[in-house]
Amino acid sequence: MYGLATIASMELNCVPVQMNLNLLPSRAEMEQAACSKDASYDGVFFVAVRTTGIFCRPSCPARAKLENVEFFPTIRDAVLAGYRPCKRCHPLLVYGALPDWVTTLIQRVETAPDLKITAAELRELKTTPERVRRWFREHYGMTFVEWCRSRRLANALTQIRAGATLDDVVFANQYESHSGFREAFSKVFGVPPGQSQTSDFVATQILETPLGALLVGAVERGICAIAYTDKQMLEHNYATIRKHFGYPILPVTNHHIEHLRDELACYFAGKLTEFTTPLVPQGTAFQEKVWSELQRIPYGTTISYDELARRIGQPTAVRAVARANGMNRIDILIPCHRVIGKDGQLTGYNGGIWRKRLLLELERTGKLPSHETIQ
């Protein structure tokens, strides 16, 4: 059984640890955030304590002397440096617990979508416009203003599809005029409201898992993207989805995402061996053929790339099969992690070899290594 630190030490022999320190705030700012247990920095960086071998969120209640602390921009960097996750603050679930001021802002927007929040009100929440802007850009790939606008427009599209009149939609979403609504709607969806019945968008949410945060995208027909993410990768993940599907990306949920949320919880608890959430794996005919075959690999088993090529009837196309495997955009549900090298060695994985090893361990034993086994 492998723990995170054990996996990290194994991977150091074949994967160079490249840590972009320019992505971090200044050392002084991080020290101040860690000393004040500032939750608004959760996900911006991680705090690792040399004397205990543990890494934490900045908001973790545990305390350590600053001379024993180092900082990392991502979970992966901390793991590959040999640190294990804290059992008090659970840094692998960093996106699961929102700072109180973020929760308050979101609740206000849900209650009154057209509410204008002033700088003075933000200061009452013990934050600033700059921090709000940075936090939403880092966690949602957009500013708070853009996030509010996206929520309103997604709600408007849902109402239009349900048969609401334009007057009702404009009034319900508190737009000052029909022309202003049409302009905002057309800018996001590419068509005016009257032509939007066939329009789609990618609903996106960040779901917490024991292996870190997943950015999940869903269109009306099903899940179209699942990717491991962190603060540094988030904008790249959004750009990839936007480029591939050509749809607007809105920070909302839908019934496919909520169904997936429940299934992932059961999967990581070792209680689910087959997903039922509908998928929309958009690719070339060859890629989709490979991805379809991947879904036929039974839970708890692995096959080689050679075997995968044979199963699709193209035994000489091993390299092309490997490329298609690497282009899979729906991690876990299209189980590319179940494909290994011909010699039994684990090969590349979008989420990192350490995650691939843990997924296979979960499927082999029905459980992930416990915190007690992470040595």
pLDDT at 94: 58
pLDDT in tens, 119-173: 888 888 888 888 888 888 777 767 888 777 777 777 777 777 777 777 777 777 6
Say whether 14 counts as a known binding-site residue.
no
In a domain, 280, yes or no: no
Tracing tokens 């609740």 back to the chain, one arrives at 107
- Give the chain's residues under pLDDT 50: 1-22, 371-375
Q: Structural domain of residue 140, as residue ranges? A: 100-198
The pLDDT value recorded for residue 344 is 86
Say if 278 falls within a structural domain. Answer: no
> CA distances (Å), 373 to each of 7, 9, 54, 92, 285, in order?
12, 15, 14, 16, 43
Last residue of a domain, one of 91, 125, 160: 91
Residue 258 domain flag: yes
Is residue 86 annotated as involved in ligand binding? yes
Global model pTM greater than 0.75: no
40 and 81 part of one domain: yes
Integer Cα distance of 340 and 255 in angstroms:
33
In this prediction, residue 372 carries a pLDDT of 34
Q: Is residue 308 part of a domain?
A: yes
- Same-domain status, 298 and 347: yes
Number of domains in the chain: 4
Check whether 56 is labelled as a binding-site residue. yes
At residue 21, the pLDDT reads: 44
Active site residues: 56, 336
Tell me how far apart the alpha carbons of residues 101 and 332 are, in angstroms, rounded to a whole number: 33
Query: Any idea of the CA torsion for 357, 363, 364, 367, to the nearest 10 degrees?
Result: 90
Asked, for residue 256, whether it belongs to a domain, the answer is yes
Residue 148 annotated as binding?
A: no
Last residue of a domain, one of 91, 124, 144: 91
- Tell whether 141 is covered by a domain: yes
